[in-house]
Amino acid sequence: MILPNTPLYQAKTDAEFRIRMIHHIKTAYRDLVGNDVNLLDLPNGLDLLQAKVQQRLYDMSNGEINLIPEEIRNQKLAA
């Protein structure tokens, strides 16, 4: 995989990349995600925000677009 030559992708560790990615999302997508951007302050904030975005996309497309992994969908059906 070829990554862009930008500071975001030139992190030395996973933790550094995570911090940079959270900062990038907060600055670039604040208007798009609204108050949900505050989820990124939680330890599992990236996962929570991803799940909310996937659900919104699913809802807005009336189920046509489903990015929720099948194993998670099956868990929800079993519950």
pLDDT(10) > 80: no
CA 77 from centre of chain: 23
Check residue 26 and give its pLDDT: 92
- Going through 3-77 in order, the beta strands assigned E by DSSP cover none
Summarised one tens digit per residue, pLDDT across range 18-49 is 888 898 899 999 998 899 999 999 999 999 99
> Is this model's pTM higher than 0.75 or not?
no
Which two structure tokens, joined as six digits, stand for 37? 């951007």
Separation between Cα atoms, residue 14 and residue 71, nearest integer Å: 26
- Mean pLDDT for the chain? 83
Q: What is the DSSP letter of 79?
A: -
Q: Calculate mean pLDDT across residues 10-18.
A: 82
What residue ranges do the domains of the chain occupy? 7-78
